[in-house]
């Protein structure tokens, strides 16, 4: 017997009239809430410190810390009245499968899903402009359908992350971490080198942030591999050799340079402007060394 028939609760509302509740007060919750409001969706927001009664919602987006999703979901289910429709619960944790945070819920929601924006949120007003943003989507049928409706409302681009051997979600999130979070680590290494060259740390950070933004703009406009510039793209062996010589006393940064440089040689080969012999010599220089 289904959960709905056991409880006597109504099935989900028609998509045209569903109420959306966004729980949380971090940058992701604020961005999603504003984006949905701009779309004309009937959306409310609630967070613990706000206080007051939690509003109802047919689709509830739990935009909270990964460790808080299960507890927030329990709160949502505990406040249901007997006559309420069962909600669909969506979380925004790109590292967690759709079902995982909801596995122990009782009663069960009508559906569960994941809706994860492939964006870095810093709390700026422009965070709410999600048109064209890729969203990782996963879930059971009701949850996945609800996530797709929200993405469509916000003008996003859905990316289905169903099983595919169990690696699709992990690879998706690894890509996000590699390009967003690890880029910050690379900037930190660059800042260290620039401060040794005489720039103040704040100035160095701003300078490299501008450089990174110009690189992102090139990627957006020209794509891969054409956005690649620099010595490896040109096949400039001597410049790469000088860099490695200058990094002899910075072993960790030298290892980063070599590891990322090896991937850059792949892109340079695809771009086709560097001589093959030069790229082979650069690859030899970039082999892990002491």
- What local confidence, expressed as pLDDT, does residue 1 receive? 31
pTM of the model: 0.87
Distance, in Å, from the CA atom of 180 to the CA atom of 118, rounded to the nearest integer, reads 10
Residue 142 reports pLDDT greater than 50: yes
pLDDT tier, 214 (very low <50, low <70, confident <90, very high otherwise):
very high
Instruction: Specify the pLDDT at position 165.
Output: 56
- pLDDT mean across residues, the chain: 91
7: pLDDT strictly greater than 50: no
Give the pLDDT score at 162.
Answer: 83
Alpha carbon 179 to its chain centroid, in Å, reads 10
For 172, phi then psi, to 5°, come to: -55, -50
| Tens-place pLDDT, residues 250-283 | 999 999 999 999 999 999 999 999 999 999 999 9
Domain with CATH 3.40.50.720 in the chain: 3-162
β-bridge mates for residue 157, sequence order: 134
180-203 pLDDT, tens digit each? 999 999 999 999 999 999 999 999
- Best CATH choice for the domain 3-162 from the list 3.40.250.10, 3.30.365.10, 3.30.450.20, 3.40.50.720: 3.40.50.720
The CATH number of domain 170-285, selected from 2.60.40, 1.10.1040, 1.10.3470, 3.30.310:
1.10.1040
Given strand 134-139, what is the order of strands in its sheet? 43-46, 20-23, 59-62, 88-91, 111-117, 134-139, 157-160
Q: How confident is the model at residue 51 (pLDDT cuts 50, 70, 90)?
A: confident
Every domain range in the chain assigned CATH 1.10.1040: 170-285
Query: Per the omega criterion (within 30 degrees of 0), is the bond before 23 cis?
Result: no
pLDDT in tens, 155-187: 999 999 986 556 899 999 999 999 999 999 999
Tens digit of each residue's pLDDT (9 = 90 or more) over 57-87:
999 999 999 999 999 999 999 988 766 789 9
- Which pLDDT belongs to residue 290? 54
Is 214 in contact with 271 (CB distance < 8 Å)? no
Q: Per-residue pLDDT tens for 94-139?
A: 999 999 999 999 889 999 999 999 999 988 889 999 999 999 999 9
Kindly indicate the confidence band of residue 36, based on its pLDDT and cuts at 50, 70 and 90.
Answer: very high
> How high is the pLDDT of residue 125?
86
pLDDT at residue 3 tops 60: no
Over pLDDT 70: what percentage of the chain? 91
């Amino acid at each position: 017997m289904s959960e709905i028939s056991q409880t006597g609760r109504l099935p989900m509302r028609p998509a045209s009239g569903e109420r959306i509740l966004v729980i949380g007060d971090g940058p992701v919750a604020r961005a999603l809430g504003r984006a949905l409001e701009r779309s004309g969706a009937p959306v409310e927001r609630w967070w613990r410190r706000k206080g007051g009664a939690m509003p109802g919602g047919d689709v509830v987006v739990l935009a909270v810390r990964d460790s808080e999703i299960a507890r927030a979901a329990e709160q949502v289910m505990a406040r249901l009245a007997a006559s309420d429709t069962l909600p669909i619960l969506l979380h925004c944790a790109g590292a967690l499968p759709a079902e995982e945070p909801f596995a122990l819920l009782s009663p069960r929601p009508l559906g569960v899903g994941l809706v994860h924006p492939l964006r870095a949120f810093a709390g700026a007003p422009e965070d709410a402009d999600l048109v064209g943003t890729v969203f990782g989507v996963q879930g059971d049928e009701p949850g996945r359908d609800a996530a797709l409706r929200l993405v469509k409302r916000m003008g996003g681009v859905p990316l289905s992350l169903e099983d595919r051997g169990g690696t699709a979600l992990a690879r998706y999130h690894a890509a996000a971490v590699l390009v967003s979070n690890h880029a910050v680590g690379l900037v930190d290494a660059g800042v260290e080198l620039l401060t040794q060259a005489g720039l103040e740390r704040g100035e160095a950070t701003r300078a490299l942030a501008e450089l990174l933004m110009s690189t992102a703009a090139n990627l957006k406009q020209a794509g891969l591999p054409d956005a690649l510039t620099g010595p490896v793209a040109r096949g400039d062996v001597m410049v790469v050799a000088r860099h490695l010589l200058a990094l002899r006393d910075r072993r960790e940064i030298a290892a980063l340079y070599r590891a990322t440089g090896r991937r850059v040689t792949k892109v340079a080969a695809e771009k086709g402007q560097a001589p093959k012999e030069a790229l082979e010599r650069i690859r030899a220089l970039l082999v892990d060394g002491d």
